[in-house]
Structure 1
């Protein structure tokens, strides 16, 4: 048996102490290693760097631990059991890492548990201990690991994992959290809320019940887990999630949660976003945690695992996460169309879509998508948002080519039954093959052409024409203001001629700081660059709150002088303003919507939700 103990020995110093008990060691010595990355977040993070110190001993005394590489150690041969003890510094406040202080403790197994090379398939036991002291007597524990040997649910004690993969796929939250309980299709579900907050528990539980039951029904009505936990850290400002086999780690802002004082029948935008996040990570229970790219079977957490399929595993998930909100009546159809418009705006504003294919974006996630710099808007396309747009198109295309008898849902059902349930990896052409098998032969060339263009070129997608067939009109117009990311509009706004610099910035007390400059934009042509501190426009100090409006009101074609600092050098840029791009998606009902309403409702499946 491989046995671990983990103890938050010093919350003030953010230190976990971990003990690994090994009953035996290979005759030639035993390799131990720490993962270099965590599944679901495709970047090498070198978790071993947080080990403060490490030592090993057997009944005869101290053993010498040899270093093999940055994350691997080697035990010498031993005729008796071996104990390895080490301390981990935990101050990574993210869903990917480990964090410990006087208010809570959280860790992913990838950050704290050494793997025993060659024995990853063996059962693991882990004793999870409460911090010492009276201040922590009210703390509880939330994890997807199975409690054993008298340990109660949500209590500190002994837990079991079937293998190392399960051990690192069940994060742990420990604190005096608020626990919200509900059932979905007969399966116990929980949300553990850590951090200071207020929440309308009933509304949150009711909404999550509908979303979880929707996803369970979507994949055939039988959940692949016997319990599920949303571990949510509530912050003043924060957002993110990471999926696991029977849980998810979430970060949200306090304003994201529903309050009893919220207007009845109104779903504030921040709460919609939080429900999107919950829906997204829960959909991953099937799509990426069990339906996986072949390259992820099994995960190799020591080395990068390259796949071009993240457009499907993140993009399809991103498509269905907010569609589920409409289909469960958490939001209405026009709120859904607004969220779709924001996704399309995000794709259109990325100049990287003209440079990088979505499959390249997936393959290069390790070096480009997860390591974005100031030039990322010009060089990287998101496999989340463009993958979601591809999924919208694919869903509507399948419906049209099958006379509305089939949809992308049928493809996902086959992926679950033929791949996810039997641990068979999805290949690069699997989805294309399934779509061709589900559609008439007369449509095959059109479908092949769509996949080729969508996945392997930077051509624009046929989104507008496919939406037109369900009575929805899509137009791209200039943004109304800095915060405009598109929306549903009963009537499309007029296409006003506005001037634009072509850069993104953040406010400074003395002007604005440039975050990024779009390729071939007026700012780029004038030589303005990221990190330039712009302080004056035409000799007058820049007011960050009015800067964008000032620029928009300058006539197109006029040249203005902008002064700023690059590092500590004062520079002046002569910028000739150009018309703002039509890069903001607005969706409205087409004039002939009545003729397409049945198809619209078929697409969104709104009849059962009462809309």
Structure 2
């Protein structure tokens, strides 16, 4: 048994941790802290937050030798070991640890040392010294007040904790207890609406895999709300979520607004991960090696397919309308189409290089990479509709996911590289090689218009202002083709700061670069660059004054017509659409 005791020091934002265990034989002791957390594919070097570390054996000091950035070793000695260490905690995210006088949160991967050779022993955690009014939310099995235990280290770090002022909202879905642990400061909102909508989403996702058992006996959503927050990280029986406080449903809300819809999608996405990546997973993750990168070409299948289903389940559960779903889909289509990186990086490459490209984006990323989340979702959409069409409705992507999950229940093994596609074809009995070659291993555009047409939806592309993010066909189709700056920027009161410059656009052709501060357009102060540039006609030239590295420069920019990269969708067959969304 490995025993961990954690004590908070909120004023200093520090966790004090004691790890104790008995070593019966005189073997070299080696222990380490993970370098990354499952579900977030970036080396985060959690050991950098350790501010103190010491050890004793049989109450006598034991010297530690650091082998590398996250690994330590002690001389071979049997007896009662104790390791004391302190971790600085001020990371307001779902993948780290945070502590102040109002709240505590931690993901075990960034806090708990792993003892080499003892990973399969029981691990026990005791919380001590918590403020009297704090409450605790976690899915880790509890054995006594403030005492929790798992059967292994992998389980131990798969249960994050939320501590502090917490409101609990409970419901049951398909006979399984669910709980929302809500923390932070938030205005009055419709608790019944939130609980009912999340319940419908959970029941819809659970129903997809029935009669196979769920991968959890109960489930916990830990939702912390604050100012301009967003994020989520999946775990087998819980998820940690961050959201803006104003995304909670107001008490008089009718149709879900954009902020609430985004919140529902976050719940839906992380919940589906309990099946897709926490259960079904790449062989490269079975087991995770948290000391180094774990490479796979399959993130498109585990994040992309999850991103396809997250919004689809909102429609399937009828928490949003079919029209609202198509609006979300049009926005995803537009985001992917506007990225030049889709012409340079394949989905397989995007998955493999997540560690050093997707999670380390810079000002050139829109020109160089494609998102395995967003384009992966569109590939999943095409695959779903293609399977439905080729099988005359006998199969769908649901069929494939159900069989993948049954296979995982039977073997508990990950899927080897390129075998997801092989298994998909075996499950459906269809030849999908050409589709997979195009979707995963080429930069050719996906057959989106053709496949959506089979679901009663017409896709057309329009040259609309960049402020238009895509949507349903309506009067906006009459808008004249807009000009496009070819850049992203942050508008400030007296200048516009360029953040990204797109290949081949007006800004790049004028010699503008990221971090340029545009202060004037045709001699007038740059107080609204979008409006000022938007008034230019195609081919019209404008004088631009800007600061670069503190030096005033100027250039002439020629307005170019926006590309036809804004997606508008139109329902052409309501019966086909509802058959796709609802199985009707």
**TM interval, short-chain normalised:** over 0.9
Match of 1:193 among 182, 192, 196: 182
Output the TM-score relative to the length of structure 2: 0.97
Task: Tell me how far apart the structure 2 counterparts of residues 107 and 34 of structure 1 sit (CA, whole Å).
Answer: 14
Matching of residues 277-426 of structure 1 within 5 Å:
277-426=266-415
Cα offset, 1:25, TM superposition = 6.6
Question: Which position in structure 1 is the counterpart of 2:582?
Answer: 605
Asked if the contact 1:477–1:495 (Cα under 8 Å) also holds between the matched residues in 2, the reply is no
Q: Are residues 1:535 and 2:490 paired?
A: no
Question: Which position in structure 2 is the counterpart of 1:462?
Answer: 447
1:438-482 CA deviation, whole Å, 9 max, x = no partner?
A: 445xx52xx211100100000011010111122211111123452
Task: Tell me how far apart the structure 1 counterparts of residues 70 and 24 of structure 2 sit (CA, whole Å).
Answer: 19
Give me the CA root mean square deviation: 1.4
Question: Which position in structure 1 is the counterpart of 2:134?
Answer: 139
Task: Tell me how far apart the structure 2 counterparts of residues 522 and 589 of structure 1 sit (CA, whole Å).
Answer: 34
Task: Tell me how far apart the structure 1 counterparts of residues 95 and 409 of structure 2 sit (CA, whole Å).
Answer: 24
Output the TM-score relative to the length of structure 1: 0.93
Question: Which position in structure 2 is the counterpart of 1:203?
Answer: 193
Question: Which position in structure 1 is the counterpart of 2:544?
Answer: 562
Task: Tell me how far apart the structure 1 counterparts of residues 480 and 427 of structure 2 sit (CA, whole Å).
Answer: 45
Cα offset, 1:309, TM superposition = 0.4
Cα offset, 1:398, TM superposition = 0.3
Matching of residues 115-264 of structure 1 within 5 Å:
115-131=114-130, 136-148=131-143, 150-151=144-145, 157-197=146-186, 198-221=188-211, 222-262=213-253, 264=254
Q: Are residues 1:476 and 2:471 paired?
A: no
SS of the equivalent of 2:405 reads helix
Task: Tell me how far apart the structure 1 counterparts of residues 479 and 377 of structure 2 sit (CA, whole Å).
Answer: 27
**Total equivalences in the alignment:** 582
1:579-606 CA deviation, whole Å, 9 max, x = no partner?
A: 011111111123xx3xxx4332221116
Match of 2:497 among 513, 518, 523: 513
Task: Tell me how far apart the structure 2 counterparts of residues 280 and 317 of structure 1 sit (CA, whole Å).
Answer: 6
Instruction: Note closer, same or farther for the CA distance 1:7–1:228 as it changes in structure 2 (3 Å cut).
Output: same
Asked if the contact 2:439–2:446 (Cα under 8 Å) also holds between the matched residues in 1, the reply is yes
1:492-533 CA deviation, whole Å, 9 max, x = no partner?
A: 612512211100000122110000000111111111000111
Task: Tell me how far apart the structure 2 counterparts of residues 347 and 26 of structure 1 sit (CA, whole Å).
Answer: 57
Question: Which position in structure 2 is the counterpart of 1:154?
Answer: none
Q: Which moved more, 1:495-504 or 1:320-329?
A: 495-504
Asked if the contact 1:19–1:85 (Cα under 8 Å) also holds between the matched residues in 2, the reply is yes
Asked if the contact 1:398–1:435 (Cα under 8 Å) also holds between the matched residues in 2, the reply is no
Question: Which position in structure 1 is the counterpart of 2:469?
Answer: 485
Cα offset, 1:61, TM superposition = 1.5
Task: Tell me how far apart the structure 2 counterparts of residues 60 and 435 of structure 1 sit (CA, whole Å).
Answer: 58
Gaps of 5+ in 2: none
Gaps of 5+ in 1: 152-156
Instruction: Note closer, same or farther for the CA distance 1:492–1:569 as it changes in structure 2 (3 Å cut).
Output: closer
Task: Tell me how far apart the structure 1 counterparts of residues 379 and 291 of structure 2 sit (CA, whole Å).
Answer: 32
Cα offset, 1:411, TM superposition = 0.3
Cα offset, 1:412, TM superposition = 0.3
Asked if the contact 2:16–2:87 (Cα under 8 Å) also holds between the matched residues in 1, the reply is yes
Match of 1:496 among 458, 480, 488: 480
Task: Tell me how far apart the structure 1 counterparts of residues 452 and 490 of structure 2 sit (CA, whole Å).
Answer: 35
Asked if the contact 2:10–2:101 (Cα under 8 Å) also holds between the matched residues in 1, the reply is yes
Question: Which position in structure 1 is the counterpart of 2:41?
Answer: 42
Q: Are residues 1:578 and 2:560 paired?
A: yes
Asked if the contact 2:303–2:373 (Cα under 8 Å) also holds between the matched residues in 1, the reply is yes
Asked if the contact 2:223–2:241 (Cα under 8 Å) also holds between the matched residues in 1, the reply is yes
Cα offset, 1:130, TM superposition = 4.1
Task: Tell me how far apart the structure 2 counterparts of residues 75 and 25 of structure 1 sit (CA, whole Å).
Answer: 15
Task: Tell me how far apart the structure 2 counterparts of residues 26 and 494 of structure 1 sit (CA, whole Å).
Answer: 79
Asked if the contact 1:479–1:582 (Cα under 8 Å) also holds between the matched residues in 2, the reply is yes
Task: Tell me how far apart the structure 1 counterparts of residues 515 and 462 of structure 2 sit (CA, whole Å).
Answer: 28
Task: Tell me how far apart the structure 1 counterparts of residues 189 and 168 of structure 2 sit (CA, whole Å).
Answer: 11
Task: Tell me how far apart the structure 1 counterparts of residues 424 and 476 of structure 2 sit (CA, whole Å).
Answer: 35
Asked if the contact 2:464–2:481 (Cα under 8 Å) also holds between the matched residues in 1, the reply is no
Task: Tell me how far apart the structure 2 counterparts of residues 225 and 60 of structure 1 sit (CA, whole Å).
Answer: 41
Question: Which position in structure 2 is the counterpart of 1:54?
Answer: 53
Asked if the contact 2:200–2:317 (Cα under 8 Å) also holds between the matched residues in 1, the reply is yes
SS of the equivalent of 2:117 reads coil
Asked if the contact 1:146–1:159 (Cα under 8 Å) also holds between the matched residues in 2, the reply is yes
1:67-113 CA deviation, whole Å, 9 max, x = no partner?
A: 11000011222231110000000000000100000110000111110
